[in-house]
Amino acid sequence: MEQESPFKGKTGVRRLVNALGYSLEGVMSALRHEAAFRQELVLAAVLIPAALLAPVSAPAKALMIACVLLVLVVELLNSALEAVVDLASPEHHRLAKRAKDIGSAAVFLSLVNVAVVWAVVLFG
């Protein structure tokens, strides 16, 4: 069987250790290079403890926290998309702009999702 990628050869615990390392490198890269990720991380540092202290049920707390974490996930994906677009097309191109704008819209909608879910949970 032909392997898809030379980077896919590791299995078992070694693969998990490698995956964890790559994930931590990705987070550190986002912290170093992405101002929006740093801002959203500050927001998460405020909102997650607030959710834990909120006088709501455990499932409501989990939903509130999940929405905040979703913003970070979407921002990481958007940042990755922007890096690939910049690598593939360093000059201005309408499709590159479209890809970046759509990624930005996804982040915006994830932030709107936080506001809506938190408002519904806290104010009914």
The third-level CATH classification (topology) of the domain covering 35-123 is Helix Hairpins (1.10.287)
Concerning whether 75 is annotated as a catalytic residue, the answer is yes
pLDDT attached to residue 76:
98
Portion of the chain with pLDDT greater than 70, in percent: 93
Q: Average pLDDT, stretch 99-115?
A: 98
| Per annotation, catalytic residue among 2, 75, 82, 91 | 75
CA distance 124 to 111: 19
Whether the model pTM is above 0.85: yes
pLDDT attached to residue 3:
60
pLDDT over threshold 90, residue 122: yes
- Look-up: residue for tokens 């819209």? 105
- Residue ranges of domains in the chain: 1-33, 35-123
Nearest Cα residue to 55 out of 114, 124, 122, 118: 122
Nearest Cα residue to 71 out of 107, 104, 28: 107
Q: What is the DSSP string of 88-103?
A: H--S--HHHHHHHHHH
